[in-house]
Structure 1
């Protein structure tokens, strides 16, 4: 049995428009934000009030979300300069 896969003739890598587009924007709820950044709820809200963390958006009563791209940018900024995440 041959385990090597052969590319299909009807698949074109050059013509794949999805490989050049950005993924759709996602909104994250607090538990996922906490998992991604390694901070507890109180630390996230404290940093938000100090302007050191992306602001949440209210999309309804008792429903706050964060824009995934903003969280990713914050994570990258901390990775480049860890002092920006200090309390």
Structure 2
């Protein structure tokens, strides 16, 4: 099954985050990690970005309340 790989401008548009916030989230383990595409290019799996969005919505809606 093929998965779509998003480049940074698409990830920024989809999440509303800027580059620094994306990389800070990756370092903290709260944002999906990149997939290497070449020596100088990376991307993110669209499915992982969608899962991240759904998790943020669940937090907003209180789905993780104890």
State the TM-score bracket (shorter-chain normalisation).
Answer: 0.7 to 0.9
Structure 1: where are the runs of 5+ without partners? Answer: 1-22, 83-87
What is the RMSD of the two structures over their aligned residues, measured on CA atoms? 1.7
Q: Write 1 or 2 for the structure with the bigger share of helix.
A: 2
Aligned to 2:42, the other structure's residue is in SS state strand
Task: Name the structure 2 match of 1:51.
Answer: 29
**What do residues 20-56 of structure 1 show as CA deviations (whole Å, max 9, x unaligned)?**
xxx8410000000000000000000000000000000
Equivalents in 1 of 2:9, 2:39: separation in Å?
Answer: 17
Q: Which of structure 1's runs of 4+ aligned residues deviate more than 3 A?
A: none
Structure 2: where are the runs of 5+ without partners? Answer: 61-66
TM superposition score normalised by structure 1: 0.65
The structure that has the greater radius of gyration is 1
Aligned pair count reads 61
